[in-house]
Amino acid sequence: MTEPAISVHDLTKRFGDRTVVDRVSLSVERGEIAGFLGPNGSGKTTTIRLMCGLLQPDGGTGRVLGHDILTDRGAIKREVGYMTQRFSFYEDLTIEENLNFVAGLYRMTRRREVVRETLQDLGLYSRRGQLAGALSGGWKQRLALAACVMHRPKLLMLDEPTAGVDPKARRDFWDEIHRLAADGLTVLVSTHYMDEAERCHRINYISYGTLVARGTVAEVVRDAGLTTVIVTGERTAEAARRLAGAAGVDQIAPFGNALHVVGRDGAALRASVARVAEETGTRMADAETSLEDVFIQLMGDAQDNMA
């Protein structure tokens, strides 16, 4: 019987009279890579900070690795690795000095060896004397990840780790995350890149402080119950204009020469698109609903709820 790595209920956080996180419940199984998705300012960072003991919640309870998030912050800090959104190691220390500092704070045994192995794994051994501030974005991110896992945490929380990093570095980064998860590490990663969401075992979608969808990518797409059709042809721009506001049409997005049209009411959508296709001489075809379509739909819904 293993307890989930993260199990929080009704977490609430207010800054002044603004409720940033509103009764969010979240459960992450051990060994799982959980995606934490949501638009900018949706409360992802705040929720992560609440869970690793960096903020005091205004309501709710929860356990992280079996430790109470309200009373047992010390234990959580020892067993969790947290990688902040912004590079937050010391830019005026060298790579090696930063790692030594982290190793000391976690009271690691064999500090010198651990730091050397980490540097070698990173491929930064020859550059260990360089100031961390001189590293490029991709290297900073790799250094930060290495520093966060050096103390062998049981849970890793990554807050938008790949913001501003090139596609190659992003792929390498995700390979590393999967390697770590295969060794039994639980990972919670926040992102708003859809391709990254698809690399997670399960995703949790938060919008304006509330959790609005959860499950595997396939489940989330299925549960959304959306119908997508693609319109192709010469006059797609005109088709888009005519489709705006038509019955059953919720989203219209141009992708190159094609138009993705998404809606919740499949029958009405198809009827509208068929009519417009006839008028503009374009062709329509059924298509798979993508995760991105679902998120945009969810964002729109959440905004409606706010109003």
Q: Could you list the residues that contact other proteins (CB under 8 A)?
A: 49, 52-56, 73-74, 77-78, 80, 82, 84, 86-91, 102, 105-106
**Nearest distance in Å: CB 189, other proteins:** 16
CB 165 within 8 A of CB 173: yes
Tell me whether residue 42 or residue 98 sits nearer to other proteins (CB atom). 98
- 86 or 168: CB nearest other proteins: 86
| Min dist. Cβ of residue 84 to other proteins (A) | 5
Positive/negative CA dihedral, 189, 192, 193, 197: positive
Instruction: Kindly tell me which of 165 and 243 has the beta carbon lying closer to other proteins.
Output: 165
Nearer of residues 108 and 296 to other proteins, judged by Cβ: 108
Which residue, 87 or 193, has its beta carbon nearer to other proteins? 87
* Nearest to other proteins of 82, 205 (CB atom): 82
CB of 89 to other proteins, least distance (A): 6
| 67: helix, strand or coil | strand
If the CB atoms of residues 153 and 248 are measured against other proteins, the closer one turns out to be: 153
Shortest CB 60 distance to other proteins, Å: 15
Return the CA Rg of the chain.
Answer: 23
Give me the least distance between CB of 145 and other proteins, in Å please: 13
Shortest Cβ 206–other proteins spacing (Å)? 19
Location of structure tokens 């356990």: 63
* Alpha helix positions (H), the chain: 44-51, 73-79, 95-105, 111-122, 137-149, 167-182, 194-197, 217-224, 236-243, 266-280, 291-306
Task: Name the minimum Å distance from CB 228 to other proteins.
Answer: 40
155-159 and 186-191 strand pairing = parallel
> How is 230-290 classified by DSSP, letter by letter?
EEESS-HHHHHHHHTT-TT--EEEEETTEEEEEES-HHHHHHHHHHHHHHHT-EEEEEPPP
CA distances from 119 to 103, 183, 203 (A): 13, 20, 32
Of the candidates 58, 76, 77, 81, the one whose C-alpha atom is nearest the C-alpha of residue 66 is 76
Closest CA to 203 of 192, 183, 217: 217
